[in-house]
Amino acid sequence: MIQRRTDRELDQLRRAGRVVAAVRRAVLAATTPGRSTRDLDAVAEQVIREHGATPAFKGYRGYPATICASVNEQVVHGIPDDIPLAEGDVVSIDVGAQLGGYFGDAAFTVALGAVPTAAGNLIEVTEECLRRAIALARPGNRLSDISHAVETCAVAGGMSVVRQFGGHGIGRSLHEEPHINNYGPPGKGPLLQPGFVLAIEPILCLGNPELLIADDGWTASTADGSLAAHAEHTVAVTADGPWVLTADDDLGEGADR
Ligand code: MF3
Ligand code: CO
């Protein structure tokens, strides 16, 4: 069953989402050549705790860190390590926080310094897929309209969609119903209703979308070594349209209500 959250609960989820937005800002600022993803993990955990929140991923099915940091051909669920980031790296950061029993989950991908045009395009197309999918998170649309929008945008941009992972409902748990594919025909699945809260997360790569999971049991990489990118927001479906709960206050995209 897909939960419908009350307005009060959406306010709680927005609070959790604001913590995630603050973490995203801090981690983005710290993502520079020479820093390790373990440094970024420490930054993220500190910001989360300063807000009285707790990391959502740490301990989830045994996951050992606050963020997932997936570099270059790593796609999702990269475990932070001590390798210094370098100019030209494409870094995806995924972070979740829990505040007062409610969860927020968001991800972004950033290139360090100058990267080939294809890498820059990959990041931009991934963000565009997320924007288009978010725009469809409104009552009257069906779940797979979101899936279809991601795939259509990715294909139009010359990118591949990863199929093994997708978005999900979120609320009082990190992962709730429904699963959200990033591909498929439109007009299928449940009608979106006010109060649904969805973590929408396009995951794209430049080459073949087949993945390999590392021996650590988590890190997913493209089998062909091609670059991957990931973008995610937690979004509430409201009568007035999508409410991006993990948006920065100052971007207007999450305009509070
Ligand atoms: N945003 C990712 C997801 O929804 C992050 C999960 S990492 C985990 O699947 F460690 F929590 F599994
Ligand atoms: Co997620």
Q: Is the CB of 15 under 6 A from ligand 1?
A: no
Question: In the prediction, which pLDDT does 256 show?
Answer: 59
Q: Which atom of ligand 1 is nearest to the CA of 77?
A: 7
Q: Is the CB of 243 under 6 A from ligand 1?
A: no
Residue nearest to atom 11 of ligand 1 (CA): 57
CA angle, 90 as apex, 123 and 148 as ends, to 5°? 30
Q: Name the residue of 20, 45, 54, 60 to mutate for ligand 1: max ligand atoms within 8 A of Cβ.
A: 60
Of residues 5, 24, 12, the one with CA closest to residue 250: 24
Domains with residue ranges and CATH for the chain: 7-251 (3.90.230.10)
- Write b or e for each residue in 237-249: b if 16 or more Cβ atoms lie within 10 A of its Cβ, otherwise e: bbeeebbbbbbee
Question: In the prediction, which pLDDT does 249 show?
Answer: 78
Q: What is the Å distance from ligand 2's center to 106 Cα?
A: 7
Query: pTM for the full model?
Result: 0.97
Question: In the prediction, which pLDDT does 59 show?
Answer: 98
Q: Is the CB of 103 under 6 A from ligand 1?
A: no
Going from the first residue of the chain to its last (257 residues), give the mean pLDDT of each consecutive group of 10, the final group possibly shorter.
Answer: 98 98 98 98 98 98 99 98 98 98 98 97 98 98 98 98 98 98 98 98 98 98 98 98 92 52
Question: In the prediction, which pLDDT does 257 show?
Answer: 53
Question: In the prediction, which pLDDT does 203 show?
Answer: 99
